[in-house]
Structure 1
Amino acid sequence: MRLEQLEAFLSVADTGSFQAAARHCGVTQSTISRQIQALEVELDATLFHRMAQVKLTVAGEALLPRARRICQDWQLATREIADLMAGQQPELCVAAIHSVCSHLLPPVLQQFCQDYPHVQMRVTALGSDRSLKVLRDGLVDIAIVMDNERLATSLDMQVIPLYQEPVEVLMGVDHPLTEHPRVPWAALAQYPHVVFKDGYGMQRLVQAQFEQSGGTLHAALELNTLDAFRGVVRQGQMVALLPQSALADSRHDPALAVRPTEAPVLTRRVVLVTTRDRAAIPPIQHFCHLVHERGAVFLSPPELSELLSMR
């Protein structure tokens, strides 16, 4: 059964004439007749009484509402897809790690809303694992996450590198580790750490670094917001290893101190991920372009090159 057969059927039913249906569809009468005959053969039922005024049979009456609904749904689908590919997407949903939501995205969101005022933006702060899951489940259009090896093997995903940044130590201003211009990894192993909850890429990154250096990470507390990290670290002996962008506000807090680590300097890579089919949709394509541009200039302090060269 083909769509043009159903359209021919509806045209004959609406006009009561094969000839009028042919004029309406812009084809010959014989073409309409062949389409109706093929439909009747497939359904094994006669759909019309062929008289001076063509009338529906009982089988034709049963088919009519369903055929009309199929054709209407098809027309609606083609309009919606055409609108989508023309940039008329009603909303754009993004899941991103917390530091990206706080520092990378604000100017991007402002520019995108100016460029696409009819598109409703929805941004949710999640860990990397959860962000990728909701992307794969089709709940968001874009995920901005910490890079991991599995992304390189996902053929249906398009991965756009954004930036990389060093991981540094957050501590209270009176913490003993502040005496180190660059904190040794052995010294870090002597203190309790505040870490991201399971499902956050940073937790795995930090844990792997301690294992490689032969030390033990003493994870005393798991949290999932940057405000909570700052609040706990202010209280005393706990420290936290966080990416540079997550420490922007902490550098201006008189109760907190930030120090780089000794070599090897741990770095985090941040990437934008979307599905390959979504990447062709104009609003999503434009948003990806804005984020990529912002990522290219996001971290450029003088000390960044020096820190990365210590790896």
Structure 2
Amino acid sequence: MDREQLAAFDQVAREASFTRAAIALGLGQPAVSARIRALEDQVGGALFTRGRRVALTALGESLLPYARRALEVLSEGLEAARLAQVGQRGRVRLGTLGSVAGGLVGPALGAFVRGHPEVECLVRAGDHERIVALLLDGLVDLGIVTWPCPEPVAAELQDVLRFHEPVLLVARPGHPVTTRADLAADELVRLGRPMFRLRWWQGQHPLLTRLAEQAGTPVEIPMETARALALEGAGVGFFVRTYVAEDLARGTLVEVAVRDLPPVFRDTALVRRRRGGPLSPAAAALVELLRRQAAALGVLEGGRGPVSAGRRSRGAAPIRRQGRR
């Protein structure tokens, strides 16, 4: 039984006439009759009494509500498929590092939800290893991970967008490190206590780790806890810019320049499985919003290509691999 047969059955029942049903459907009467006969063969009996007046049989009356329900569900399914083709229906699953969930992902995701209210959106946050595992297991369509990915994972993933952002030393206004006009690294070690040790990379950045150790007992805590303590003036730390962008804009945290400290950057990428098939229109729309948000934040890196383990962040020394957030 197919949609055309059910539609003919429904229309004949509405019109109580094969002729009028054929006109309404834009078909010849023989075509309508053939569809009804095919349907009757499948259900095992007559659906209509045929005479001067066409009327439903008991079998036809029992089938009609189910036929109409099937037509309605099929129509909804076809509409959902049409909307999915233009990115207005479907599902998008994104995995993201917690460190970019706010400044980068949050605004882009908000714009996506407003523009695609019928698309189911699932976002999972975690560290680098968790997001990679979700990608490789097919549990998310896209993921933001630290860059570059080590082999052999690199062979399984393909980058879609790349992000390159500075890592800033920040503190609460009035903290001793903010009162020096020309702060040097040795003064930071003396005044920046406690100094939070945060892992923004595929491990610990050797230069920043050394500074934290020289400052005394380093405090290794989650980034959200470190930010809260920094806001209270209970320490200083190196944060990726997008993570503290709102705090800097409000003036609750300030960037501290260190004259003899080279620039430090953190690289990440929006990636997908290389063998995952084409992106859905909805996923492509989210990618475009992430691209725009990254460009607005000044962290979008040009160029697209396969994820590779052969590149190293500009301005960053080699790092010892550990957890990544």
Task: Give the drift of 1:65.
Answer: 0.6
2:231 is equivalent to residue 231 of structure 1: yes
Task: Give the drift of 1:221.
Answer: 2.9
- Partner amino acid, structure 1, of 2:185: H
Matches within 5 A, 1:46-61: 46-61=46-61
CA distance in 1, matches of 2:288, 2:83: 21
After superposition, give the CA deviation of every residue in 1:244-270 in whole Å (9 maximum; x if it has no partner): 333444596678746599789562314
8 Å contact kept, 1:13–1:55:
yes
2:31 is equivalent to residue 28 of structure 1: no
Distance 1:54 1:81, change over 3 A: same
2:156 aligns with one of 148, 153, 158? 153
- Partner amino acid, structure 2, of 1:153: E
The structure that is helix-richer by fraction is: 1
Give me the TM-score of the superposition, normalised by structure 2.
Answer: 0.58
8 Å contact kept, 1:147–1:271:
no
2:14 is equivalent to residue 9 of structure 1: no
Identity %: 22
Give the match's secondary structure for 1:221. coil
Task: Give the drift of 1:224.
Answer: 3.1
Equivalent residue number for residue 280 of structure 1:
281
Equivalent residue number for residue 199 of structure 1:
none
CA distance in 1, matches of 2:187, 2:125: 28
Matches within 5 A, 1:193-232: 193=196, 195=198, 202=200, 205-206=202-203, 220-224=220-224, 227-231=227-231
Give the match's secondary structure for 1:245. helix
- Partner amino acid, structure 1, of 2:56: L
Distance 1:206 1:247, change over 3 A: farther
8 Å contact kept, 1:229–1:240:
no
More deviation, 262-271/65-74:
262-271
Q: Which runs of 5+ in 2 are unaligned?
A: 178-182, 300-312, 318-325
CA distance in 2, matches of 1:44, 1:242: 73
Q: Which runs of 5+ in 1 are unaligned?
A: 185-189, 197-201, 301-306
Distance 1:83 1:247, change over 3 A: closer
CA distance in 1, matches of 2:243, 2:260: 16
8 Å contact kept, 2:7–2:71:
yes
Distance 1:220 1:106, change over 3 A: closer
Matches within 5 A, 1:106-185: 127-128=125-126, 149=149, 153=156, 160-170=160-170, 173-174=175-176, 179-180=184-185
2:239 aligns with one of 227, 239, 242? 242
CA distance in 1, matches of 2:260, 2:15: 81
After superposition, give the CA deviation of every residue in 1:249-307 in whole Å (9 maximum; x if it has no partner): 459667874659978956231427799777424xx65554343244246337xxxxxx8
Equivalent residue number for residue 303 of structure 1:
none
Task: Give the drift of 1:127.
Answer: 3.1
CA distance in 1, matches of 2:43, 2:156: 46
- Partner amino acid, structure 2, of 1:165: E
CA distance in 2, matches of 1:37, 1:118: 47
Task: Give the drift of 1:39.
Answer: 1.5
After superposition, give the CA deviation of every residue in 1:100-130 in whole Å (9 maximum; x if it has no partner): 56544788689x69xx987669999973469
- Partner amino acid, structure 2, of 1:280: P
CA distance in 1, matches of 2:259, 2:290: 27
Distance 1:218 1:29, change over 3 A: farther
In the alignment of these two chains, the number of paired residues is: 276
After superposition, give the CA deviation of every residue in 1:47-96 in whole Å (9 maximum; x if it has no partner): 22233222222221111011111212333343455456567679999886
Equivalent residue number for residue 39 of structure 1:
39
8 Å contact kept, 1:159–1:271:
yes
8 Å contact kept, 2:168–2:241:
yes
Give the match's secondary structure for 1:69. helix
Task: Give the drift of 1:35.
Answer: 1.4
Equivalent residue number for residue 72 of structure 1:
72
More deviation, 221-230/45-54:
221-230
Give the match's secondary structure for 1:6. helix
Distance 1:25 1:96, change over 3 A: same
